[in-house]
């Protein structure tokens, strides 16, 4: 059986923006043929499962231009160059929600769309939350929500919660509550 690798033989960066880089690569496949790959390069991100003392999940609602609608998500954000994932998680939680966490625990990490992107998302659980003021980035508009499990289920059924990281967080929360 041939080794499952692809050797890059040529690479061209088509776009380098603030958030992503788009590369087109010519690759040699295991059978020797040549193919093109369009790849999105991303610095990585974090997402935070934050549960209040009274058992509600802290979520944010924001407009997502790619979807042309607002959706409800767990707090999340892009890692800065050289920034450790835990530091990003703390920063994003405060920026988007105003909450500070006494402790953060890494739950898992996953690739969002490995067929064309290298974005790796680290998911943390935040405990010992203390409410403070949001510190939104310029041009960022976010509504903070604190919702029960039943409210989250209803919003997921309505398609208002409709992204993988938040669906994962809800399943994690439900499983943890049933232990």
What values do phi and psi take at 175, rounded to 5? -65, -40
Active-site residue set: 138
Residue in the structure block whose two tokens are 């040529």: 10
> Which position has the token pair 């999340």?
76
First to last CA, the chain: 44
Residue 95 and residue 133: Cα distance in Å, rounded? 8
Could you tell me the CA-to-CA distances from 16 to 41, 42, 74 in Å, in that order? 9, 10, 27
């Amino acid at each position: 059986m041939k080794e499952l690798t692809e050797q890059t033989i040529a690479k061209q960066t088509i776009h380098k923006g603030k958030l992503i880089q788009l590369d087109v690569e010519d690759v040699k496949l295991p059978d020797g043929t040549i193919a093109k790959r369009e790849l999105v390069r991303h610095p990585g991100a974090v997402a935070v499962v934050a549960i209040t003392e009274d058992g509600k999940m802290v979520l944010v609602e924001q407009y997502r231009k790619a979807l042309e609608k607002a959706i409800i998500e767990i707090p999340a954000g892009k890692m800065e160059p050289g920034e450790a994932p835990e530091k990003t998680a703390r920063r994003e939680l405060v920026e988007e929600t105003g909450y500070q966490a006494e402790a953060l625990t890494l739950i898992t990490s996953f690739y969002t769309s490995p067929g064309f992107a290298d974005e790796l998302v680290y998911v943390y659980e935040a405990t010992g939350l203390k409410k403070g003021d949001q510190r939104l980035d310029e041009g960022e508009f976010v509504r903070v929500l604190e919702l029960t499990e039943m409210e989250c289920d209803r919003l997921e059924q309505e398609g208002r919660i409709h992204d993988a990281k938040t669906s994962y967080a809800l399943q994690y929360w439900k499983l943890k509550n049933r232990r």
